[in-house]
Amino acid sequence: MRETGIVFDIQRFSLHDGPGIRTTVFLKGCPLRCLWCHNPEGLSPKPELMFFDYKCLGCGTCARVCPEGALAQGAGAKPRLAREKCAGCGRCAEACPSGAWRLVGRTITVEELLSLLERDALLYDRSQGGVTFSGGEPLFQPDFLHAALAACKERRIHTAVDTSGYAPWDVFERIAPLTDLFLFDLKPMDEEAHRRYTGVSNRLIHANLRRLAELGRPVRVRVPLIPGITDTEENLQALLALLGEVQGRILGVELLPYHDVAEKYQRLGKSYGMPSLSRPSEARLAELRARIAQVVPCA
């Protein structure tokens, strides 16, 4: 219970990360760098500042309180942050009168987390919901994740883990008995394309999926549907081939249609590498679901 982790968000009343009404706990840190990542604030394992410039009054308070000299500001102008100097202390966010800075990432103990989760225990029971650990990559903090899952199990809270699948098998093996549901992402199926768009090979990911299916743990595959990247005929054929291997041993597939999150990157001072793309149409989603459903259930 003394184990600590770094989380960047805890969302109550979540309806899209597993069955029922859930709390989604977002752990910080991820070994992948997917170009379309929806949670860029979860990539670095360290606390980071987000800036909401439309809230800034130009008062200069943040620059005055920063002990590292990381914030510079001309009269009446908005502050400029030298991220390499920032120590993540959060003083600027505390001092800002309009909430223009938000420090994302805080340390939490398993005990603190469980007392937050227990507030919604009745809701979990009534809706057959529970807690989902997401990220970032939750397996990137294996000791904290293990301890948190064990504490949830003790309290009979349903647990789901939303993972990129990119972690050593021994980490999966350790948490598998404590995890009631794996939400397992599959990105580009071609290894070279996977490296190009996420920064890592997909071999370990596919091997882990096969092994989890062999273990008989409940797994739902999730496919982010990115036009021209994962939404291509070639990718679909390769996906269907892998799904055929685990057919009957996974619960099914969920498609996650692409949407643009460029604004979040801007707030973190990061650049968004995706070209301008449209969300896949409902007709296309229906067509893909029907084709995948010939192999495994698809939502």
Q: Residue numbers of the site for ligand SF4 (CB under 6 A)?
A: 49, 56-62, 65-66, 68, 70-71, 79, 81, 86-92, 96-98, 100-101
How near is the Cβ of 114 to ligand SF4 at its closest, in Å? 28
Residue with Cβ nearer ligand SF4 (54 or 275): 54
DSSP code of residue 36: T
Give one word for 197, left, alpha or beta, with left for phi > 0 and alpha for psi -120 to 50.
alpha
How near is the Cβ of 269 to ligand SF4 at its closest, in Å? 11
From the CB of residue 163, how many other CB atoms can be counted at a distance below 10 Å?
28
Amino acid at 285: L
Residue with Cβ nearer ligand SF4 (252 or 269): 269
How near is the Cβ of 266 to ligand SF4 at its closest, in Å? 15
Residue with Cβ nearer ligand SF4 (91 or 206): 91
Contact 3, 109 (CB under 8 A): yes
- Rounded to an integer, what distance in angstroms lies between the CA atom of residue 119 and that of residue 13? 12
Closest CA to 225 of 275, 159, 284, 270: 284
Residue with Cβ nearer ligand SF4 (210 or 264): 264
Residue with Cβ nearer ligand SF4 (104 or 288): 104
Please list the residues that pair with 48 across neighbouring strands.
Answer: 104
How near is the Cβ of 206 to ligand SF4 at its closest, in Å? 40
How near is the Cβ of 154 to ligand SF4 at its closest, in Å? 36
Residue with Cβ nearer ligand SF4 (65 or 277): 65
How near is the Cβ of 264 to ligand SF4 at its closest, in Å? 18
> If DSSP codes are grouped into helix, strand and coil, which group holds residue 70?
coil
- Rounded to an integer, what distance in angstroms lies between the CA atom of residue 77 and that of residue 57? 8
Q: Would you state the torsion angle of the CA atoms of residues 145, 149, 150, 151, taken in this order, to the nearest 10 degrees?
A: 100
Residue with Cβ nearer ligand SF4 (96 or 200): 96
- Rounded to an integer, what distance in angstroms lies between the CA atom of residue 299 and that of residue 293? 8
How near is the Cβ of 284 to ligand SF4 at its closest, in Å? 42
Contact 114, 25 (CB under 8 A): no
CB-neighbour burial class of residue 74 (10 A; exposed 0-12, middle 13-18, buried 19+)? exposed
- Rounded to an integer, what distance in angstroms lies between the CA atom of residue 240 and that of residue 21? 30
How near is the Cβ of 130 to ligand SF4 at its closest, in Å? 34
Residue with Cβ nearer ligand SF4 (75 or 283): 75
Contact 201, 160 (CB under 8 A): no
Chain centroid to CA 54: how far? 26
Q: How many residues does the chain have?
A: 299
Contact 182, 137 (CB under 8 A): no
